[in-house]
Amino acid sequence: MHIPSTLLETLKRLVGAENVLTDEASLLLHGYDCSISRARPDVVVQVSCANQIAPIVSQLAQYEIPFVARAAATNHAGSCAPLRGGVVLNLTKLNRILQISTEEKFAWVEPGVVTAQLQEALRPLGFFYAPDPASERICTLGGNLAQNASGARCLKYGGTVDHILAAEVVLPTGQTLSLSRQDLGPDLIGLLTGSEGTLGIVTKIQVKILPLAAHVQTFLATFPSLETCVQTVSDLAAQGIIPRCVEAMDQLTVQTIESFAHAGYPTNADALLILELDGTREQIEKERLQLEEI
């Protein structure tokens, strides 16, 4: 795709010439994610300040140049591969935690904050951010919002969409919008979350934070069949027990993992469940007895 030299000059003015990349290595490195999609952008723009996004997007809209936002590129959906060429906006430098309020239970972050980085900042304060995608040590909160990511804790706490309180977003026209859960009208945050960057680029996110549970205990249960294993999760829920994490594995999975990790998993069981219960000691003990009975 032809990128007009006037646009390139404007982009350089907006973000600095050193942040407008057209060399082959940079284009190659920004042409893929964790999916099988492969593409080639024409330009990579490294954004270093959230305020740069609206003017960049306005320019791209004016010149009708396609663009995609890219964070850690760990998605498996091909959603940050620039299939139509154009511009990739690399947002990984927007990695500041702006505010944490334990009193009001929220944190404001830039979209390039790595998910685990927020957890590490919250832990000493006795708080945590509930969504826990397995990629949390590399993926970002902006990418999590765009993919509505979730992890093993989603049974009890829900996915990313349940933990976004507010967001600032630059629409594909370059217009900036502030969205809040308290807004009247349709659930625009719900619409934005999981939209894979197609509705706008999120420049600032307010997430819900929760106090750490007083105690967490992990259990491993073995089963004679995968059916009874999975049925147990329903039986637990029917008794009002929602584990904070659940992972089910069939025998082949257990054997595969055990031969690699040597974690001590029982390889002769047809299926197993790993569960984590959280709460007070008394609550966990009560639920443990119910769990054993089931």
Ligand X SMILES: Cc1cc2nc3c(=O)[nH]c(=O)nc-3n(C[C@H](O)[C@H](O)[C@H](O)COP(=O)(O)OP(=O)(O)OC[C@H]3O[C@@H](n4cnc5c(N)ncnc54)[C@H](O)[C@@H]3O)c2cc1C
Question: First vs last Cα of the chain: how many Å apart?
Answer: 61
One residue of 10, 59, 75, 193 binding ligand X per CB under 6 A = 75
Residue 167: helix, strand or coil by DSSP?
A: strand
On whether the CB atoms of residues 278 and 244 are closer than 8 A, the answer is: yes
Q: Which of 128, 89, 85 is nearest to 111 (CA)?
A: 89
* Sole binder of ligand X in the list 21, 68, 118, 275 (CB under 6 A): 68
Query: In angstroms, rounded to a whole number, what is the distance separating the alpha carbons of residues 224 and 52?
Result: 58
> Interface residues for ligand X in 191-220 (CB under 6 A)?
196-197, 201-202
Query: What does the alpha-carbon distance between residue 160 and residue 164 come to, in Å, rounded to a whole number?
Result: 7
Helix (H, G, I), strand (E, B) or coil at 174: coil
> Of 21, 43, 91, 254, which lies in the binding site for ligand X, with binding defined by CB under 6 A?
91
Under 8 Å between Cβ of 80 and 68: yes
134 near ligand X, rule: CB under 6 A: yes
73 binds ligand X (CB under 6 A): yes
Q: Which stretch binds ligand X (CB under 6 A): 10-18, 144-152, 224-232, 275-283?
A: 144-152
Q: Is 164 in the site for ligand X (CB under 6 A)?
A: no
- Interacting residue with ligand X among 31, 41, 86, 111 (CB under 6 A): 111
Question: In whole angstroms, what is the distance from residue 25 CA to residue 241 CA?
Answer: 52
**Residue 86 interacts with ligand X (CB under 6 A)?**
no
69 near ligand X, rule: CB under 6 A: yes
Q: Which residues bind ligand X (CB under 6 A)?
A: 33-34, 68-76, 79-80, 91, 111, 133-135, 139-140, 142-144, 146-147, 149-151, 196-197, 201-202
